[in-house]
Amino acid sequence: MGYYVKDVLYLVWDRGTVVLSGEVPAQVRSLSFIKFDNRVGKYRALGMYYYKIKAVLDSLGVGYEDGVLSPICRSVEAAKRPALRPYQEEALSSWLRGKRGVVVMPTGAGKTYVAIEAIARLGQSTLVVVPTIELLRQWERRLSEYFPGRVGVWYGEEKRELCITVTTYDSAYVAVEHLGNRYPLLVFDEVHHLPSESYRQIAELSPAPYRLGLTATPERADDLHLFLPELVGPVIYKMAISEAAGKYLAEFDVEVVKVGLSEEEMRRYKELEKIYKDYIRAKGLRFKSPSDFGKLVMLAGRSAEARRALEAWHEMRRILFESKGKVDAVADILKKHPDGKVLIFTEYTALAREVSRRYLIPEVTYDVPDQERELVMEMFRRGEVRALVTGRVLDEGVDVPDVDVVVILGGTSSSRQYIQRIGRALRLKPHKAKIYEVITARTREVDMSRRRRRGVS
């Protein structure tokens, strides 16, 4: 037909993959990540290998037509630039060397500004991926200060692409097939989420050559963080929480408040505990890490006994995390800090709802419409309300500048969740931050609390 030259090599984007057609050199065909696709009779690779394929072709001196990237904006200019602290500048210049990699900094140390300056220096269309809608709004607001009129969001009902688009891990997982090739730079906030089985595909299916990951805690209990170097790049800057405390972050005190279960709650708890423990003992199971717990879940798929044990475990948790004593304990803590800004975390939304109903403080959970959640966050930021109660929605990243009291009414034994939660109160302030952990005496929660605090101080 004459408008495509037969022996020229074409690189084309196809929904998360790069298709190579025409004359593919043998050295490229033999690359381990390139597969021949019988369905279309062409070679194909995951989007993430795009820059490697290009590097190989360039080193071979082979000419090719490249239609993979199709950036949404030709260039992105910042209206103003953030003033970076010395350690932020250090993190940035380390990233700029390879333009791939993970920056590890404690919550409150200003990771966002490192990313903003990275986008400004690179000047290319960028997709920012974050865990929650609260964080999406925060990034949108922050980015808009530096790139006014250039910041869009892509999630749920609102899909508006601009030079810099902020999206959630959930939305990006689905949309990467369509959006992937429009953004040469990917920024992953709270990048420890990325290596999970499904979210990992955002990095795998995107052809973005430039990648930046941000987190306070890259390690995962399931070791999947070992995939991060391949997906985003190596850790190129790391700052420990102890380096920042007192200088860039507030110091904090932890107080453990023990509450009792009511007689009725305790009776039920003991019953369930017996069902659970009898089963574990009979099967000789031992739980050392969270992945061991998966064994019980697997067994529950097969036997009714295991299923009962698992159900007992879930109900025990609910009793611990929702006990009435915990709701009562909140009153005493609120009274102790009449001038403080207080953030209360629960494990289950039912408890958040009860705390909200009883003390008339707003709840930020998925049970409440997005619009109310946004308005409430605004009010909290402006100081119009003094306390918030939330489930896991605010575990991470969201900036609530001058919180000085954090109350944890229930949580897992994960020290990451713990660090993230107390991190909400760690923005630098003249006085010490106060952390309360409310736990149920004489139950396994005492042990859970000990485990999550291990390795933090």
Partner 1 sequence: MIPLELLRASRRGDQVSPRYLRELWPAEYVLGAYKPGMRLAEARAKVEDAPFEPKLARGLAHIVERTIALEEVDRRLLTKIRLEVFREAAKAYPVVDEEGRRRVVEAVASRLKIPPEAVEAALAKIHEDELVIVRGPDISAEELAALYNTSLIQTLLFRSRRMAAYVVADGARVKELVRALKGLGLMYVAERAGDGIRLDIDGPVSAIKQTERYGTRLAKLVPYVISADDWRIEADIGLYGKVYKFVEAKSSAPRLAHRDIEPPQFDSTAEEEFYRNVSRLCAVQREPEALVVGNRVFIPDFKIGDLYVEIVGFWTPDYIARKYEKLAAAKIPLLVLVDERLALATWKDLPHYVVLYKDRPRLSDVFKYIKPYCARH
Positions in the binding site for partner 1 (CB under 8 A): 1-4, 6, 10, 12-17, 19, 21-22, 33, 35-40, 42, 44-46, 67, 70, 72, 161, 177-179, 198, 201, 205, 298, 301, 331, 334-335, 338, 353, 357-362, 367-369, 371-372, 375-376, 379, 384-387
Grouping H, G, I as helix, E, B as strand and the rest as coil, residue 333 is: helix
Of 96 and 224, which has the nearer Cβ to partner 1? 224
The half-sphere exposure of 230 on its side-chain side, counting CA atoms within 13 A, is 14
State in angstroms the smallest separation of the CB of 330 from partner 1: 8
Helices (H) and strands (E) in the chain, counts: 17, 19
Of 102 and 352, which has the nearer Cβ to partner 1? 352
What interhelical angle do 304-322 and 263-283 show, nearest 10? 150
Of 66 and 90, which has the nearer Cβ to partner 1? 66
The answer to whether 181 and 215 are in contact (CB under 8 A) is no
State in angstroms the smallest separation of the CB of 140 from partner 1: 20
Residue whose pair of structure tokens reads 């309360």 in the numeric block: 436
Of 283 and 353, which has the nearer Cβ to partner 1? 353
Of 67 and 98, which has the nearer Cβ to partner 1? 67
- Write the CA distances from 266 to 20, 262, 281, 319, 448, integer angstroms: 65, 6, 22, 9, 18
State in angstroms the smallest separation of the CB of 14 from partner 1: 5
Of 159 and 444, which has the nearer Cβ to partner 1? 159
H/E element holding 185?
strand 185-189
Of 284 and 338, which has the nearer Cβ to partner 1? 338
H/E element holding 240?
none
Phi-psi region of 76 (alpha: psi -120 to 50; beta: other; left: phi over 0): beta
**345 phi and psi, to 5 degrees?**
-105, 140
State in angstroms the smallest separation of the CB of 33 from partner 1: 8
DSSP state of 249: B
State in angstroms the smallest separation of the CB of 257 from partner 1: 15
State in angstroms the smallest separation of the CB of 39 from partner 1: 5
State in angstroms the smallest separation of the CB of 230 from partner 1: 14
Of 93 and 291, which has the nearer Cβ to partner 1? 291
The answer to whether 183 and 127 are in contact (CB under 8 A) is yes
Cα–Cα distance measured from residue 307 to residue 60, given in angstroms and rounded to the nearest whole number: 59
State in angstroms the smallest separation of the CB of 375 from partner 1: 6
Q: Which residue type is seen at 11?
A: L
Angle 127-128-132 (CA atoms, 0-180°, nearest 5)?
Answer: 135
